[in-house]
Structure 1
Amino acid sequence: MNFLRFSLVFASFFLISEASIGQEFDIVIKNGRVIDPESGLDAVRNVGVNGGTIAIITQQDISGKETIDASGKVVSPGFIDLHAHGQNIGDYRMQAMQGVTTMLELESGILPVAGWYEAQAKKNLPLNYGAAAGWTYARIATFSDTEPEPTVAYFQDAQKDSEWKMNLASPDQMDQILNYVQQGLDEGGLGIGINAGYAPGYGSKEYYALAEMAAKNGVATYTHVRYASNMEPKSSFEAVKELIANAAITGAHMHICHINSTSLKDIDATMELIHNAFEQDINITVGAYPYGAASTVIGAAMFSGDGWQERMGSTANNFQLGTERMTEEQVEDYQKNKPGTFITWHFLDESNPEDLALLDKSVLDPRVVIESDEMFWMFFDDQGEVENYEGDAWPLPEGSFSHPRSNGTFAKILRSYVRERNLMTLGEAIRKISLMPAQTLEDFVPQMKKKGRLQEGMDADIVVFDPNTIADMGTYEKPNQPAIGVQSLLVNGQLVIVDGQLKIDVAAGKPIRR
């Protein structure tokens, strides 16, 4: 009886497969090197797509209404960015050019969540989008007695005030902060964004309460830890230890954002903490990006107080405004008069082998997810003021600037770590930029169970790229250069990039929410 049942199931599967091979698909990707990081498939195959789903992966010849010749190319799950701040259409287009299909605002998050999703749905975005409930927005709203606004400007404007950054919350304020965050979760937020580095004066009980809330709601927190310092007290080591302790006590899934930049040059000590936490099965995940420079507002709390330069190993020359390094006078002026201005902060020198080795320790760790910490594209207006670019021109206007991680993180992994320095296999790189991000969320965001994989029945978020040419082109001095090497990009089964060219009229993105 069991043999008969097996025979019938096998015959049924064979007939379905034969029927699938004989049909015409919406899109067929032929003769590419198909890599699926979950199953381990790495072979030349043909891929058939119907609607928004991968319908078949086969060695057999198949036909489609539209055919992509992927000979000599890699066919991979689309890359997933868990840590992206620029949420306008130009930001998404730049990310598409390096193979990203889903970009999420998790570390900083946003409030109110429902209003943000409504606004994003009107932008005709080419990629999937989503956000966490933003704790910093809740703190700003509570301490300023305002309603939170789901905009970057709201966060930037608050940089002139110190109360929300440095003061303990009263019991009533604590209740209000937690209520705002819970409302964001109830509206579909993808967890709790805790940008603690911008408000390090919060109490230990407040952070613990957020971890408890995450555990109760069955979601993750995404934390930019409260300190960034090579020296004790208030060191990077202390901040990472605080997060791990909260995860251990509450059982909450707590994600540590950009361990590379918050650790500065103390990466050996913080990574030892992380390894020990993994060995104890503490529910943490960790992200990093492959650059020795961060991007932040110049009025951030970490750039304040006596001795901050020594603690962080920085002078004005470590700060970059636009494409130029800053002077001490400029830093003082901007911190006093324009604290919400975004700058690039060089905490490591990648041209120094010792500094590069520190960066590599986080990027190469097999349990560390690659995330970009992508930033807004900006420009100088006629008065010399820095403005965020919110237009829809493509290419982006001449003179636009951002951190090069905004359009190069994933391409740089494939260029530098895989092709040029041979520090990572292609399969391992794809795992760290597609499957691992999906797995970070999938326990509480069901949509992510169908992303980050190249398998039948999965979402048709697919990138076709040339492993010999894919590269990040943006530099600190000339950032407005899209990545190269992506031949085709499908998002939910729609072609967003064809023959290396972006289709600006395709709004393929869908919301990712709980």
Structure 2
Amino acid sequence: MMKLSTFLHSLICMGLLASGSSAVYASDYDVVILNGRVIDPETNFDAIANVGISGNTIQKITDKSITGTKTIDASNKVVAPGFIDIHAHGQNIGDYRMQAMQGVTTMLELESGVLPIEDWYATQGQKNLPLNYGAAAGWTFARIATFTDTSPQATTKYFQDAQSLTDWKMNIADPTQQKNIMSLVEEGLEQGGLGIGINAGYAPGHGQKEYFALAQLAAKHDVATFTHVRYASNTEPQSSFEAIKELIANAAITGAQMHICHINSTSLKDIETIMPMVGQAIDNGVNITVGAYPWGAASTVVGAAMFSGEGWRERMGSSADNFQLGTERMSEEQLADYQSNSPGTFIVWHFLDEANPKDLALLDASVTNPNVLIESDEMFWMSMDDHGHIDNYEGNQWPLPPKLFSHPRSNGTFAKVLRSYVRERGILEMSEAIRKMSLMPAQTIENFVPQMKKKGRIQAGMDADIVVFNPDTIADVGTYQDPNHPAVGVSWVLVNGAITVNDGQLDPQVSAGQPIRR
């Protein structure tokens, strides 16, 4: 009888069995995703293929047969890098779960940012979050702390409570105050903050020198700024055009990378003038990046500085009827009451009418521009009592309690791009939409956040942050009047290799999110 060792040696010689134990088990993976249309936006790979995953890493992309402990059949589905949202404000577990249902795998608070950074990361790390998380150092938090002589607190309430004050919004800092503001922001960077969040639209009275100093600070630490520009106006002076030109000038002079947040909403109806200016700056080598979301309405606090002063209605083309409180439009009486007594209340502000072809064309001009990535500006899920008092929802219930509301961009931005722009209207190619929602956000911060070099791609060696969706059914479901519905059409979401959404159902027991930090 032939010895077992001799038998195995014969098989190896005949090529029927690979030599070496590692080769024997080469097709064994923890998870395999089979027969899907795999799209990698960096290499332009776009083919039916199989994906092998071990631990938190993609090991193989192949057209050969592979097996795994867990098998996902992705036939007739798209397999893409998980979507990366670099502009998201709702930072409670319910907010993350809603985002997971539309294929988001990394959710970052970069526009407003927070302070102190150390406290924020510690708190987030205790929430058992399903997605990767991170934040920038928040300039508005430093400004509030300086003008109120308090220590910043990494909470939404700290920001909301400050809306009743005007000095931090409208006053130029004296040299001592500016030094303190910069010190607090720099401390946030030293604690691992992902750049500098500059929510200038909420404090438009800050000085030119202060904004320039922030750009210098970003250049010093080799990070980016993420700016909601100081003005929102169709008319001059103090127009949206002027505010964005200021950002471009600071980037050109200092060499700092500066990101323009939600150019669709800050440009209002002047996008056809502003977008070419931004494009020319990029063509000339100015280090700016740009984001937008596919909605004609924003979400903000009713007491924001832009909704004050003489002539704001004319400048912004808005009145109380453009504001939505909960599910209803506001009256002028309500607007005056809330601005006086509850200025930190979040409302939806309708600045464009998507049913109007001219307004929709303005929105499309930003969303489809090849220089513009997709960001959601996701907002908190909130409840409102019978007296109109609003609270952010911090509970653990899933699905979310039925009476909660938010802006529909909070659970439908990425799904809407795939539904409206790709499937229904055909004005974006699938691969381009995926590039805007995964690779571009990763590339925006990867030069100073090395973790992001392994995200936004479907390649061997990359992080296993993956979305599998049905291109024929993916859709945003929530509306402005009835927003509390998860997106549909996403079949599987993997975060660091862990299956967070399984066959269309979120698994609330999975908490695979990891901190993204410098």
TM-score, with structure 1 as normaliser: 0.96
Query: Do residues 313 (structure 1) and 317 (structure 2) align?
Result: yes
1:346 corresponds to which residue? 350
Contact 2:279–2:371 (Cα < 8 Å) also in 1: no
2:420 corresponds to which residue? 416
2:430 corresponds to which residue? 426
Query: Do residues 188 (structure 1) and 197 (structure 2) align?
Result: no
Q: How many residues align?
A: 501
What is the DSSP-based 3-state SS (H/G/I as helix, E as strand, rest coil) of the residue aligned with 1:393?
coil
Q: Which amino acid aligns with 2:96?
A: Y
Contact 2:57–2:464 (Cα < 8 Å) also in 1: yes
Query: Do residues 225 (structure 1) and 224 (structure 2) align?
Result: no
Residues 209-358 of structure 1: pairs in structure 2 closer than 5 A? 209-358=213-362
Residues 46-445 of structure 1: pairs in structure 2 closer than 5 A? 46-445=50-449
What is the DSSP-based 3-state SS (H/G/I as helix, E as strand, rest coil) of the residue aligned with 2:71?
strand
Q: Which amino acid aligns with 1:75?
A: V
Give the Cα separation in 1 of the matches to 2:272 and 2:433: 22
What is the DSSP-based 3-state SS (H/G/I as helix, E as strand, rest coil) of the residue aligned with 1:45?
strand
What is the DSSP-based 3-state SS (H/G/I as helix, E as strand, rest coil) of the residue aligned with 2:112?
strand
The 3 A distance-change label for structure 1 pair 462 and 122 is: same
Q: Which amino acid aligns with 1:434?
A: S
What is the DSSP-based 3-state SS (H/G/I as helix, E as strand, rest coil) of the residue aligned with 2:122?
helix
Give the Cα separation in 2 of the matches to 1:17 and 1:284: 50
Specify every segment of 5 or more residues in structure 2 that has no aligned partner in the other structure, as ranges: 1-17
The alpha-carbon deviation at position 21 of structure 1 amounts to 7.2
The alpha-carbon deviation at position 18 of structure 1 amounts to 9.4
The alpha-carbon deviation at position 19 of structure 1 amounts to 2.8
* 1:438-460 CA-partner distances (Å, limit 9, x unpaired): 00001000000000000000000
Task: Report the more deviating stretch, 20-29 or 147-156.
Answer: 20-29
What is the DSSP-based 3-state SS (H/G/I as helix, E as strand, rest coil) of the residue aligned with 1:436?
helix
Give the Cα separation in 1 of the matches to 2:404 and 2:388: 13
1:486 corresponds to which residue? 490
* 1:304-345 CA-partner distances (Å, limit 9, x unpaired): 000100000001110000010000000000000000000000
* 1:42-71 CA-partner distances (Å, limit 9, x unpaired): 111111100000011111111111100101
The alpha-carbon deviation at position 222 of structure 1 amounts to 0.2
The 3 A distance-change label for structure 1 pair 163 and 35 is: same
Give the Cα separation in 2 of the matches to 1:48 and 1:196: 45
What is the DSSP-based 3-state SS (H/G/I as helix, E as strand, rest coil) of the residue aligned with 1:331?
helix
Contact 1:20–1:56 (Cα < 8 Å) also in 2: no
Residues 26-45 of structure 1: pairs in structure 2 closer than 5 A? 26-45=30-49
What is the DSSP-based 3-state SS (H/G/I as helix, E as strand, rest coil) of the residue aligned with 2:253?
helix
Q: Which amino acid aligns with 1:312?
A: M
The 3 A distance-change label for structure 1 pair 176 and 456 is: same
Identity %: 70
The alpha-carbon deviation at position 382 of structure 1 amounts to 4.9
Give the Cα separation in 2 of the matches to 1:269 and 1:117: 40
1:6 corresponds to which residue? none
The alpha-carbon deviation at position 134 of structure 1 amounts to 0.1
Q: Which amino acid aligns with 2:342?
A: K
Give the Cα separation in 2 of the matches to 1:383 and 1:321: 12
The alpha-carbon deviation at position 15 of structure 1 amounts to 9.0
What is the DSSP-based 3-state SS (H/G/I as helix, E as strand, rest coil) of the residue aligned with 2:492?
strand
The alpha-carbon deviation at position 274 of structure 1 amounts to 0.1
Give the Cα separation in 2 of the matches to 1:408 and 1:242: 32
The alpha-carbon deviation at position 16 of structure 1 amounts to 10
What is the DSSP-based 3-state SS (H/G/I as helix, E as strand, rest coil) of the residue aligned with 2:452?
helix
The alpha-carbon deviation at position 383 of structure 1 amounts to 3.9
Contact 1:21–1:62 (Cα < 8 Å) also in 2: no
Q: Which amino acid aligns with 2:476?
A: D
| 1:506 paired residue among 507, 510, 514 | 510
The alpha-carbon deviation at position 381 of structure 1 amounts to 2.6
Give the Cα separation in 1 of the matches to 2:393 and 2:386: 14
Give the Cα separation in 2 of the matches to 1:20 and 1:468: 39
Give the Cα separation in 2 of the matches to 1:121 and 1:148: 19
Contact 2:137–2:194 (Cα < 8 Å) also in 1: yes
The 3 A distance-change label for structure 1 pair 380 and 16 is: farther
The 3 A distance-change label for structure 1 pair 20 and 414 is: farther
Question: Max radius of gyration: which structure?
Answer: 2
1:475 corresponds to which residue? 479
The alpha-carbon deviation at position 414 of structure 1 amounts to 0.2
Give the Cα separation in 1 of the matches to 2:31 and 2:513: 18
Contact 1:34–1:75 (Cα < 8 Å) also in 2: yes
Query: Do residues 465 (structure 1) and 469 (structure 2) align?
Result: yes
What is the DSSP-based 3-state SS (H/G/I as helix, E as strand, rest coil) of the residue aligned with 2:108?
strand
Give the Cα separation in 1 of the matches to 2:133 and 2:472: 29
Contact 2:198–2:228 (Cα < 8 Å) also in 1: yes
What is the DSSP-based 3-state SS (H/G/I as helix, E as strand, rest coil) of the residue aligned with 1:484?
coil
Contact 1:89–1:392 (Cα < 8 Å) also in 2: yes
Q: Which amino acid aligns with 2:73?
A: D
Q: Which amino acid aligns with 1:488?
A: W
The alpha-carbon deviation at position 398 of structure 1 amounts to 1.1
Q: Which amino acid aligns with 1:509?
A: G
Contact 2:200–2:230 (Cα < 8 Å) also in 1: yes
What is the DSSP-based 3-state SS (H/G/I as helix, E as strand, rest coil) of the residue aligned with 2:197?
strand
The alpha-carbon deviation at position 272 of structure 1 amounts to 1.7
Give the Cα separation in 1 of the matches to 2:89 and 2:351: 20
The alpha-carbon deviation at position 24 of structure 1 amounts to 1.3
Specify every segment of 5 or more residues in structure 1 that has no aligned partner in the other structure, as ranges: 1-13
Give the Cα separation in 2 of the matches to 1:306 and 1:420: 42
* 1:222-276 CA-partner distances (Å, limit 9, x unpaired): 0000000000000000000000000000000000000000000000111121011
Contact 1:168–1:202 (Cα < 8 Å) also in 2: yes
Superposition RMSD on alpha carbons, in Å? Answer: 1.3
Contact 1:288–1:371 (Cα < 8 Å) also in 2: yes
Contact 1:21–1:60 (Cα < 8 Å) also in 2: no
TM-score, with structure 2 as normaliser: 0.95
Structure 1: 4+ residue segments shifted above 3 A: 14-18, 20-23
Q: Which amino acid aligns with 1:161?
A: L
Give the Cα separation in 2 of the matches to 1:23 and 1:484: 32
1:3 corresponds to which residue? none
Contact 1:84–1:105 (Cα < 8 Å) also in 2: yes
Give the Cα separation in 1 of the matches to 2:203 and 2:243: 13
